[in-house]
Amino acid sequence: MMQSRPTYHHGDLPATLVRAAIELLDTDGAEADVSLRAVARKAGVSTGAPYRHFEDRNALLSAVAAVGYRELAALLQSAHPGPESVADLADIAVAYVQFAITRPGLFRVMFAGVCDTSNPERVDAVEAIDNYLRDIIKRGTATETPEVVATGAWALVHGLAFLFLDGKLDATDRDQVDSHVRAVVTATLGLSH
């Protein structure tokens, strides 16, 4: 007997489609098929249903990226609830890099050029992370240019994340990754390790 696949009957279809896309990314990584058709299949809806809520694949990916940014922001805040030093920033940097390594598909979508950079949810989510980093820099370093240092710190940690993702640095041992990220962050920001 053939089993029927679950069908979608009620609720918040846009959120369901975003969750389905994230599940595909978490399962298959950067190789995931996140076409509107594949996401509809995963969500158990008709292939035309996503078009009622998302103009195209890029609109869906922008919504996925916004969720990813919110999840990343929550993870960073939980890595160190009250950061006040560069050592605390290193804890947050480790969480950022580990997010990238454990959720590479979602991480790549978050920073892909296909997303609508003017999507209000995505803009708000990016701004929240930027403000969070700037606040840490203001409290944890002696600088008169926290915006510049925050951008540099983000660039540093983001670059490390992609070096691990792209296999330029070895990501197979979590403890080694954590140690490497901490060493680079503290050395770059002028602290002894």
Choice among 36-40, 55-59, 176-180 with the minimum mean pLDDT: 55-59
CATH 1.10.10 domain position(s) in the chain = 1-54
CATH 1.10.357.10 domain position(s) in the chain = 66-188
Task: Give the number of residues written for the chain.
Answer: 193
Distance between CA atoms of residues 193 and 191, nearest Å: 6
- Please report the pLDDT score of residue 156 as a whole number: 94
Provide φ and ψ at 75, rounded to 5°: -65, -45
Q: Note the CATH number of domain 66-188.
A: 1.10.357.10
- Which of 3.30.70, 1.10.10, 1.20.1260, 1.10.3210 is the CATH number of 1-54? 1.10.10
Q: Is the pLDDT of residue 68 over 80?
A: yes
Query: Can you list the alpha helix ranges (DSSP code H) found in the chain?
Result: 13-28, 36-43, 57-79, 86-102, 104-110, 120-140, 146-165, 174-188
Confidence of residue 193 (pLDDT cuts 50, 70, 90): very low
Choice among 74-78, 96-100, 136-140, 167-171 with the minimum mean pLDDT: 136-140
- Please report the pLDDT score of residue 149 as a whole number: 85
Tell me the pLDDT of the chain averaged across its residues: 86
Tokens of 130: 């930027």
- Scanning the structure block, which residue is given the tokens 């770059």? 188
Q: Please report, rounded to a whole number, the percentage of residues in the chain having pLDDT higher than 70.
A: 91
Do 171 and 177 form a contact (C-beta atoms < 8 A)? Answer: yes
Q: How many C-beta neighbours within 10 Å does residue 107 have?
A: 25
